[in-house]
Structure 1
């Protein structure tokens, strides 16, 4: 007789992990969490990361993790990736435990951006031209062979950390990797150099069950002007199904998920679309970050964490069949520091925005007196807001009002 308690294994539940932990409790499952860093490295950014865990494990590779799980008084019923860093390890461990997961042979291609490009090309998925480089000094040769502009990014990165737009040969010749570690503190040892694709950019959120896919929504990354960019977050607006590009983006993403062996669970795929077609930027078999899960929970019949956990338990979640019944359209604003690094004096208009109609959540990353770098990734956004409205026009209007009200007062650093 098996007396071990049923449990779910969450990998890197440091951000949206609280939602998964609550879903597990609601389903009568204990929570075993693996964090791929040491506690000391996590405490500065996520001091409460282990709250709600029955067991917390740290910095273990798959063999050590499997050995540790075998010694616990818990029977793991599902393995869940709670962050981008977890998607490959999740499928490795699920396979070893004989639990539901996605195609193990393609797990690395769903994580490493060069492997992702290589598999997409072999599968006939439209992608930008690309090269892999092992040293920043190789960026010039790669860029010259592709043609300018190009984007240079970490092959294992996330949140746009270290992503750089390179416009010409001078910029390529002078390229330096400012970020030597990725979002999770691991050393960066290779980079993807790829063709810059102009066009509209969408983040597409879907769920899959036994190889069947359902696109739930897509969000357009809108920029303040038509200049090329390497950081996509400015105004993020949920698309409507009547959008001129919805149908071809939806069909393309479903093909991507099939080609990449996504059989079950949530996914987040980023694409660009122009007159030539739809191009894959990246795909990840996980829930989206940012505002989507909160807004779904508050304004729709989607239960993101419960539905996702059902998938990893090998069940067909209700989200595959039931109406979404969205009671609002969503958006998000990222007020960036695009001028110069410096010391924050104040975020003007903060209290007004907190009480502004249509603003659901306000996020402030820096306090007066803090040093604020240029905004180049998700870690360096000084101010953000999540919004909702009865239609897309209302959302766009609230986003514009936020930019009229909020002002960052920053004293620039003295000139070097």
Structure 2
């Protein structure tokens, strides 16, 4: 198939695929979509709205397929964490605007990310890279407890585990063998766990100028160590004591990692001894933030992302972003234990609360729900807004007073291994 009209190449347009495709068409382009993993290509309806769908994981093969199809490509745009490496390598081969392609792997692979950060003077936790689960314990003892263990690829905290003590690691080491994209885990990052406040920072960049969109703080129910940050997440403002230093630190991270255009989502921890990079992603936020920006801020993040990768300067970067309200999100975990879902009690009542924009149920009754450790095992979440942070926090507290996840014991899964049932939902 030959695409005659100028095209936007979208990399892995699945979860945010529809709005990206709609924005490309609204801007007058045809849509060519590349899918980098077999799992993404297996999702029902993934290619809906494509003028051309291609399935390469390798940049050389992607370039060959695009050239063979005669695509008049004008921009390459990442739509998911999985595709950020291919995006900039392919853009470079096609002679299109993009971020520094020589650092593309460092923006995708957590070990390469850590190595580059150390070379660039970006503060990071001490770490070790191991390629066998049998070596994790030795690496953890070298780094010192508490430690956090992460697959170097994947996304959404899948397979990430924190071990506060050596006894915790001895009791149950990392057991995940495949990441969220169903790819085998072949290496792990073992790093010192940083205790402190954690933030997600969203920027949009054009021609090397970084415009802050917003900062969200991950709020946990207690001071315990955690491997999955999502619980209550609240947008913060300049009055927050860590706002200025998080913004300044993140600007340095973006420059150090060669991010000159497009959105970015960076996670930073603030400890007593300074700021630490947890992860940088050259992509839009994957949570409720984008929908809230559109609903209450009048932003056009999908159009603006494409504009940046076209080499343009969208209006959003011209002046500070100011929202008329504050945003938040509640993620309710399955804490009862893995098993078939009986019900998410209180979900309908929560959806009717003032200030609740949307609720999302991750499972239907009868489906197996694992203990919540990552983005793909969330039974309930809600996006909210309010006039200020106190109002947002009050709404989140009200949601938690209403919503309860009920499961049956895992043994009740008829003829199905619990881990297999959980994986099938991802």
- Alpha carbons 1:360, 1:386 under 8 Å: kept: yes
* TM-score under structure 2 length normalisation: 0.93
SS at match of 1:100: coil
SS at match of 2:107: coil
CA shift at 1:251, angstroms? 0.5
Q: Which residue of 2 aligns with 1:105?
A: 102
CA shift at 1:175, angstroms? 4.8
SS at match of 1:204: strand
Q: Which residue of 1 aligns with 2:349?
A: 352
* TM-score under structure 1 length normalisation: 0.96
CA shift at 1:229, angstroms? 0.5
> Are residues 1:225 and 2:219 paired?
no
> Are residues 1:341 and 2:330 paired?
no
CA shift at 1:74, angstroms? 2.9
- Alpha carbons 1:139, 1:173 under 8 Å: kept: no
Q: Which residue of 2 aligns with 1:183?
A: 180
Gap runs ≥5 in structure 1: none
CA shift at 1:174, angstroms? 4.9
For residues 406 and 176 of structure 1, the distance between their equivalents in structure 2, rounded to whole angstroms, comes to: 31
- Alpha carbons 2:329, 2:381 under 8 Å: kept: yes
SS at match of 1:140: helix
> Are residues 1:35 and 2:26 paired?
no
CA shift at 1:272, angstroms? 0.3
CA shift at 1:133, angstroms? 0.6
> Are residues 1:246 and 2:249 paired?
no
- Alpha carbons 1:11, 1:33 under 8 Å: kept: yes
For residues 56 and 66 of structure 2, the distance between their equivalents in structure 1, rounded to whole angstroms, comes to: 14
CA shift at 1:414, angstroms? 3.9
Q: How many residues align?
A: 411
Q: Which residue of 2 aligns with 1:295?
A: 292
- Alpha carbons 1:139, 1:172 under 8 Å: kept: no
Gap runs ≥5 in structure 2: 413-417, 419-426
> Are residues 1:118 and 2:115 paired?
yes
Q: Which residue of 2 aligns with 1:20?
A: 20
SS at match of 2:295: helix
> Are residues 1:261 and 2:261 paired?
no
CA shift at 1:60, angstroms? 4.2
For residues 228 and 200 of structure 2, the distance between their equivalents in structure 1, rounded to whole angstroms, comes to: 14
SS at match of 2:6: strand
> Are residues 1:134 and 2:131 paired?
yes
SS at match of 2:72: strand
For residues 30 and 133 of structure 1, the distance between their equivalents in structure 2, rounded to whole angstroms, comes to: 43
